[in-house]
Amino acid sequence: MKTKQEQNRVVIFDTTLRDGEQCPGASMGLSEKLEVARQLERLNVDIIEAGFPIASPGDFEAVRAIATQIKKPRICGLARCLAPDIERCAEAVAPAGKRGRIHVFLATSAIHRQFKLKKAKSEIIKLAVAGVKHAKKFVDDVQFSPEDASRTEPDFLAEVVTAVIEAGATTVNIPDTVGYAVPNEFGHLIAELFERVPALSKGVTIHVHCHNDLGLAVANSLTAVQNGARGIECTINGLGERAGNCSLEEVVMAMRTRADAFGITTGINTREIVRASRMVSKLTGMVVQRNKAIVGANAFAHESGIHQHGMLSHRSTYEIMQPEDIGLTGSELVLGKHSGRHGLAARLKQLGYTVKPAELEKIYARFIELADKKKNVYDDDIIALMHAEDLAGPQAFTLDYLHVSTGTVLPTATVRLKKGGEIFGPASACGDGPVDAMFKAIDLITKVSGKLLDYSLQAVTKGEDAIGEVSVSVRFGESLVVAKGASTDIVEASAKAYLNSLNRYLFEKGQKKIKAQPRGDQP
């Protein structure tokens, strides 16, 4: 039986590294996932869903590394109700010991039963029970999700939930997989489950996992909590498939700011919210819209004269929460070319990066190079710098020299590359623009031709001398490679992005990798 304090506390289950990473273009490498996981630990989330281990060798390694290195939250892996999925997941979360959780899922709605699974209700229950029982052989903490629960017949949903609890599930998650629910219906569904499934009042926790297709993920999650749910599955910045997931920062601050309406708490260290938001934005390249609640650039900005007058009189006239509560301080340590290693190391630590002395030397050299180009180096610059260290991946070719001519003349680029201690080039080429010309010159040197499918550029820091980050999708034969590059010069950033894609292709071509398993549908 749960204590009153436990009954009034909502578990925050973060799925940024699993569902969030499924957002198109938001994939992260191992080192990036570990950085996010460490920040989630500082944020004090209860559970980290670290990935879908059967999906690929990379996913498996990421889940296992997080289970090994992260010590406070529970570490969860996702699996379909299939023995190979579950066994792979169990292997990945094993280093977490008793903090390991296996999250199995199976679709239950009529539309999924008919068109995707082609199975009867009885078969669905049999598979769900078998999945939970198999997972229970490896861990005590097993979670089950009836995918597309919000479109599942209430009677059948209750039947499935009852069966998986009897099979050993300790948490049951109710997903609004396609973001179809509206608050009053979803709240009623949760309340109805408590009436139909008595076991839910005897130690089994109900989670909800709401998608944002109608912009209602946070509202549906809050309504579910008001009707008895005690776990919310969410992501930093609301990242996720299609329109995204329930936003962690929004749902947490709603419960905190309106404690009078909800009467519940979370264990989240809200002063880490802004840092988490910025980190995820930088590492995924997914920009946070300026007017986004809680973490948007305009969230605590006031332009109207009436609002400014009220703010000067008393902040509470137009602010319902303190910016300090989410980690905004209004001040920022500015570093420059005269800053030493100790100053940089201290700032890196404050920003949540742990670096070894040997790594610091390499980062400091890049920092000085950047500081020579910029008057001031801000936090965003440092984060971008750290991100750039992770962008390159396996190194083969690096940029040694680049010159472009453009304007009213035919755009031309001259490039020289370095590989190990050897210089290749120079080579020159013309193109539709300086970037196209530079890509063609690189192809001439490497004798590997890539086809650019997608190109995007964004400023990742502020000021006239801002760092620009270029993202490219390049096809090399049958392989599609997505890579990024960053620099204060956008042509140089483009060159680095293209070289990073080429290096990854060459590296993977030379490796005998385990073939990736299909992701399948997920809650």
* Percent residues over pLDDT 90 in the chain: 58
Average pLDDT, the chain: 86
From 21-30, 150-159, 463-472, 476-485, the region with the lowest mean pLDDT: 463-472
Report residue 2's pLDDT band, with 50, 70 and 90 as the boundaries: low
Q: Is the pLDDT of residue 422 over 50?
A: yes
pLDDT level of residue 317 (50, 70, 90 thresholds):
low
More confident call, 236 vs 490: 236
DSSP 113: I
Please give the share of the chain, as a percent, with pLDDT higher than 70. Answer: 85
- The model's confidence at residue 188, banded by pLDDT at 50, 70 and 90, is very high
Strand partners, 424: 417
Whole-prediction pTM: 0.73
Confidence check: pLDDT of 418 > 50: yes
- Name the residue with tokens 């005897």: 202
Confidence of residue 309 (pLDDT cuts 50, 70, 90): very low
Q: What separation in angstroms does the CA of 422 have from each of 230, 499, 503? A: 60, 16, 16
For residue 376, give the amino acid letter.
N
What is the 3 state secondary structure string of 390-429? HHCCCCCCEEEEEEEECCCCCCEEEEEEEECCEEEEEEEE
pLDDT of residue 5: 45
pLDDT band at 397; cut points 50, 70, 90: confident
pLDDT at 92 over 90: yes
Q: Which residues pair with 207 in a beta bridge?
A: 173, 231
Supply the pLDDT for residue 388. 58
DSSP string of 180-211?
---HHHHHHHHHHHHHH-GGGGTTPEEEEEEB
Q: Does the pLDDT at position 136 exceed 90?
A: yes
Q: Tell me if 121 sits within 8 A of 81, measured CB to CB.
A: no
Burial class (CB in 10 A: 0-12, 13-18, 19+), 357: exposed
Sheet of strand 479-487, all strands in order from the earlier edge strand to the far edge: 451-459, 468-476, 479-487
